[in-house]
Chain A
Amino acid sequence: METPFAFITSPPTPTRSPSITIHNSHCLPSSQIINMPPMLPDFSNSVKLKYVKLGYQYLVNHIITLTLVPIMLGVSIEILRLGPQEILNLWNSLHFNLVQILCSAFLIIFVATVYFMSKPRTIYLVDYACFKPPVTCRVPFATFMEHSRLILKNNPKSVEFQMRILERSGLGEETCLPPAIHYIPPKPTMEAARGEAELVIFSAMDSLFKKTGLKPKDIDILIVNCSLFSPTPSLSAMVINKYKLRSNIKSFNLSGMGCSAGLISIDLARDLLQVHPNSNAVVVSTEIITPNYYQGNERAMLLPNCLFRMGGAAILLSNRRSERRRAKYRLVHVVRTHKGADDKAYRCVFEEEDKEGKVGISLSKDLMAIAGEALKSNITTMGPLVLPASEQLLFLLTLIGRKIFNPKWKPYIPDFKQAFEHFCIHAGGRAVIDELQKNLQLSTEHVEASRMTLHRFGNTSSSSLWYELNYIESKGRMKKGDRVWQIAFGSGFKCNSAVWKCNKTIKTPIDGPWTDCIDRYPVHIPEIVKL
């Protein structure tokens, strides 16, 4: 699918990641451009330019240190030259009186107080737990196709379509569907949906309590997000009832907000934790599949059946200073972008009834294009917050250059790999991950967490980011100081991202969802699995 993915508001250009040689030659000052002899092999070219690029980055990123050091040196040399007597004379010549001194002191104290008061509280992610589905809920490809064939017996074309989707989906043979969907025909009753919600949410919460030693009575804020199942009383009330939480708890239930609702909940928790000091917030992200299994024939609506799977996560956030030591991550930024103002974006993931009156979620054909647009907006806001000065300068220079000198210059795509060590891209589908990998120029290892989560757990909607994070931890790649970027897309159309900074090097988890299978990963996922 052609995806216009320009990073500057100019006519969309097809995305072809420019090679290092070409775009560097546009961005560096011309004095540094060597007339590249065309006979030199590409390798040597790129190595030379790599070092030039590194030098430039170091220069710009540490510009303050680099300018400060000579100044300090100069001042100290000057002082030494003057000698102690001269300095004393200089000091005596300054006439201070008491008022001036007091005023200056107060000013300094005032400024310091205002600074510390207005600094936002640090939000710590103490720990999180992902739901591990029971093995009896496993759905191999053959079983899925067989059920599909038995249920849609009058529509072999729809069955064919589902098979083609499944072949190319990037899912594995161990993804799980809730028990009610295993029946022929599926039995999506409300009772079954509640049953699934209880299974997923309570398992995740029990696991979280065990890991963190949190007592239910200590939860001050509870946010549950589940897009497609919203009973009365809400799922958050269900949690409060089960664990006997306090009566003055601040509970919220977010529904209808799509796969990016997980990060919206995190954002909400963050805002609440700014207002309430010394508090714990528990965020539960899940998607209940049972009531939403589409039983009709409309192709655009059959797609979610093939991709969505059971999953959930419970996260403990806190602003208590005491959690500083044991917290895994610190929340740095949350950036939310909503493209709902555009009609096409609004309608691209739409729940509606098909011709036979069956309700399903219809995905439009321009989904990838709209996702690209949303990502672009999000990155435009995110870039200045996270990119190092060198990248921002390059971006600025290219922007100025395109506007003033020559609009034909290739737009500079900032290198986000310098801002983050790990990427968690919502495992919405193989196409989403492929597109983002191409456009952010990520390596295979960067998107490994996303691809492997899609393979092992399928698209678990808002909780997939947490499975991906757990994958990275299980592989032992998370070190202190590493920065993680979580990106999620959702209906609306929304693109939300969160940036976390790792607070302490994380030991391989012993009780996560990946524990029993991490050694088998990464696996090679073929383009098409022959069914």
Chain B
Amino acid sequence: MATNNDNNNIVSYICKRTVVSTKPIEPGKYMTFSVLDRCMEKNHIRMVYYYQSSSTSLGEGEFGKMTKNLKETLSEMLNYYPMVTGRLVRDSEEKWKVKCNDAGVRVVEAKAKGSVEEWLKNVDSEKEHMLVYWEDMYHKPYYWSTFYVQITEFEEGGLAIGLSCFHLLADYTSATNFLKAWSDISLGNKITVLPLFHPLPSTRKRISNHHPYFELINHYKSSIERPIPIKEEKYTIISLGFSHQMVNACISKAQFNGPSGPITMTPFEALAGLFWASISNIKGLQNGLIDMSICLDARKVLGLDYGFFGNTMIYNKVHSNGNLEGNIFVQATRYIGEVVAKMDNEGIMDLIEWLEKNEMNSPKMINGPDLICVSLENVDPYLSVFQDWLKPLRVSCYIEPVLGEGQVLILPGTPEEGPLSRVVMVTLKEDEAIKLFEDDLISQFSPTIFMKC
């Protein structure tokens, strides 16, 4: 593993500035947050996109010019995101809201030695964190930017764009669409997925003549009552890629016979089950499963457009019944599948209604001590193609901080690998992560190791 000294020499920061939109905003606009947004107040997202240039003619004089073009197109794109360029203020009830004051987003420019391919060959999470800039909230949040963009040019070719944002404002889908919009503008096109800023579907007109989905509500309720853990563990993040065929194999292995014929799992269910079983094994549970929650994007279920800007990530606990017998992996997958099916429109609307009624006690940190498996497959980050650059070579994502057993993020793989290919980013304690590589359950699917410990 590269030492800190080596790391410091590879990436050097050039400067930090603020990029604003090209048109001034009408003063006096405010935007508020939904109950789901407020669940994510303690988290932030980091994403890194790697690019290779399309032409080899980008030589000496071009260094810095690419960054300039990117900043100009970012300016133009920000006209559509008044919420992103605003700043946080507290309203009369001490809750956050955004004052759209046109302050802009922070942009950091950096350069890195070597080429992007070399970098990708031996990258680890610590190195990757140098490509995406983040600042924790200031004492005075009015001067604190909620979004950070880092543009790193590789001296021998290649580009890395790091985007980090406060989870209160945007979830993974919104952040990905933000970058997609930027790439659309850089190509001179219109934005394909325009951001929509509106509240969640209203719960007022609901006729509650059914049993509310208590399990989901209880999960959130217990999160409120639980104090935020202050663990000082050292986590490491590894990244594994599963090809189309391997995911298919995984799905077929997880298949089981239901009452009305064989039930096929989705890639998320299969992979989440796989990692749940494997990690439980590593942590010492021979015949059982550790506590686990899944997290899904509820836009489709709630009938919202993908352009909806905000948070629609719903967490739900998956219960396993004590000692298990037989194939743990298959059973894990079954449990997950059952919970996913129950997270339908009614269930989620019940949750939203409950959260709105219990505003004062909103959970401050929803991703607690469990192992968390997050499905981030709803948007394709590989569609973000900037001018002069090809499709992204790789996309990484981090949802921080992780304070429990661990985190498993399931992202789509590169389009070349096939529609079912996936990239899984696992956050675990260092010694557990090492064991994960040797685990038979995982290695039977021969994943490509993108990022070691």
- What chain B residues lie within 8 Å of A143 (beta carbons)? 18, 20, 102-104
Give the interface segment out of A179-187, A402-410, A492-500.
A179-187
Q: In the assembly, what is the distance between CA of A140 and CA of B102, in Å?
A: 7
Interface residues of A in 101-139 (CB under 8 A from B): 134-136, 138-139
20 pairs from A and B in contact (CB 8 Å cutoff): A136-B22, A138-B22, A138-B24, A139-B20, A140-B20, A142-B104, A143-B103, A147-B18, A149-B140, A149-B143, A150-B143, A173-B24, A182-B18, A183-B15, A183-B16, A183-B17, A184-B15, A184-B16, A187-B15, A530-B27
A174 at the interface (CB under 8 A from B): yes
- What chain B residues lie within 8 Å of A135 (beta carbons)? 22, 75
Q: How many positions in chain A have a CB within 8 Å of any CB in the partner chain? A: 21
**Residues on B facing A (Cβ under 8 Å):** 15-20, 22, 24-25, 27, 71-72, 75, 87, 101-104, 140, 143
- What chain A residues lie within 8 Å of B27 (beta carbons)? 530
Interface residues of A in 374-389 (CB under 8 A from B): none
B17 touches A184 (CB 8 A): yes
A189 → B minimal CB distance (Å): 11
A363 → B minimal CB distance (Å): 27
Q: In the assembly, what is the distance between CA of A136 and CA of B15, in Å?
A: 16
Chain B residue with Cβ nearest A184: B16
A174 touches B24 (CB 8 A): yes
A138 touches B15 (CB 8 A): no
CB < 8 Å: which of A138, A174, A182 contacts B17?
A: A182
Contacts A142-B102, A143-B102, A183-B15 given; indicate if A136 touches B72 (C-beta within 8 A): yes
B22 touches A146 (CB 8 A): no
Q: In the assembly, what is the distance between CA of A191 and CA of B103, in Å?
A: 27
- What chain A residues lie within 8 Å of B143 (beta carbons)? 146, 149-150
B24 touches A140 (CB 8 A): yes
- What chain B residues lie within 8 Å of A146 (beta carbons)? 18, 87, 103, 143
Q: In the assembly, what is the distance between CA of A324 and CA of B57, in Å?
A: 50
Q: In the assembly, what is the distance between CA of A147 and CA of B143, in Å?
A: 8
Chain A residue with Cβ nearest B24: A173
- What chain B residues lie within 8 Å of A182 (beta carbons)? 17-18
CB < 8 Å: which of B15, B71, B103 contacts A140?
A: B103
Chain A residue with Cβ nearest B74: A136
B18 touches A184 (CB 8 A): yes
Interface hub of B15, B18, B71, B72 (most chain A Cβ within 10 A): B18
B103 touches A142 (CB 8 A): yes
A521 → B minimal CB distance (Å): 14
CB < 8 Å: which of A136, A142, A174, A187 contacts B87?
A: A142
Q: In the assembly, what is the distance between CA of A139 and CA of B102, in Å?
A: 9
Q: How many A-B contacts are there with CB distance less than 8 Å? A: 54
Q: In the assembly, what is the distance between CA of A530 and CA of B99, in Å?
A: 13
A214 → B minimal CB distance (Å): 30
B353 → A minimal CB distance (Å): 36
Q: In the assembly, what is the distance between CA of A187 and CA of B16, in Å?
A: 10
- What chain A residues lie within 8 Å of B87 (beta carbons)? 142, 146
- What chain B residues lie within 8 Å of A183 (beta carbons)? 15-17
Known: A135-B75, A138-B22, A173-B102. 5 other contacts (CB 8 A): A134-B72, A136-B71, A140-B24, A141-B102, A173-B24
- What chain A residues lie within 8 Å of B18 (beta carbons)? 143, 146-147, 182, 184
B20 touches A138 (CB 8 A): yes
Chain B residue with Cβ nearest A148: B143
A187 → B minimal CB distance (Å): 6
Q: In the assembly, what is the distance between CA of A350 and CA of B103, in Å?
A: 33
Q: In the assembly, what is the distance between CA of A135 and CA of B20, in Å?
A: 9
Interface residues of A in 182-209 (CB under 8 A from B): 182-184, 187
A275 → B minimal CB distance (Å): 44
A198 → B minimal CB distance (Å): 15
Q: In the assembly, what is the distance between CA of A140 and CA of B140, in Å?
A: 19
- What chain B residues lie within 8 Å of A140 (beta carbons)? 20, 24-25, 101-104
Report, nearest first, the 5 A-B pairs whose CB atoms are least far apart.
Answer: A142-B103, A173-B24, A135-B22, A142-B101, A140-B102
B139 → A minimal CB distance (Å): 11
Interface hub of A135, A149, A174 (most chain B Cβ within 10 A): A135
Q: In the assembly, what is the distance between CA of A354 and CA of B25, in Å?
A: 37
A456 → B minimal CB distance (Å): 11
- What chain A residues lie within 8 Å of B71 (beta carbons)? 136
A136 touches B75 (CB 8 A): yes
- What chain A residues lie within 8 Å of B102 (beta carbons)? 140-143, 173
Q: In the assembly, what is the distance between CA of A135 and CA of B19, in Å?
A: 11
Q: In the assembly, what is the distance between CA of A184 and CA of B148, in Å?
A: 14
B116 → A minimal CB distance (Å): 25
- What chain B residues lie within 8 Å of A147 (beta carbons)? 18
Q: In the assembly, what is the distance between CA of A150 and CA of B144, in Å?
A: 10
Chain B residue with Cβ nearest A182: B17
Q: In the assembly, what is the distance between CA of A140 and CA of B103, in Å?
A: 7
- What chain A residues lie within 8 Å of B22 (beta carbons)? 135-136, 138
Chain B residue with Cβ nearest A156: B140
- What chain A residues lie within 8 Å of B25 (beta carbons)? 140
- What chain B residues lie within 8 Å of A136 (beta carbons)? 19, 22, 71-72, 75
Q: In the assembly, what is the distance between CA of A146 and CA of B71, in Å?
A: 19
Interface residues of A in 355-385 (CB under 8 A from B): none
Question: What 1/0 flags go to A20-49 for Cβ under 8 Å of B?
Answer: 000000000000000000000000000000
- What chain B residues lie within 8 Å of A141 (beta carbons)? 101-102
Q: In the assembly, what is the distance between CA of A515 and CA of B344, in Å?
A: 54
A193 → B minimal CB distance (Å): 16
Q: In the assembly, what is the distance between CA of A172 and CA of B102, in Å?
A: 13
Question: What 1/0 flags go to A496-518 for Cβ under 8 Å of B?
Answer: 00000000000000000000000
Chain A residue with Cβ nearest B18: A143
Q: In the assembly, what is the distance between CA of A139 and CA of B25, in Å?
A: 12
Chain A residue with Cβ nearest B86: A142
- What chain B residues lie within 8 Å of A138 (beta carbons)? 20, 22, 24
A309 → B minimal CB distance (Å): 15
A10 → B minimal CB distance (Å): 48
Chain B residue with Cβ nearest A147: B18
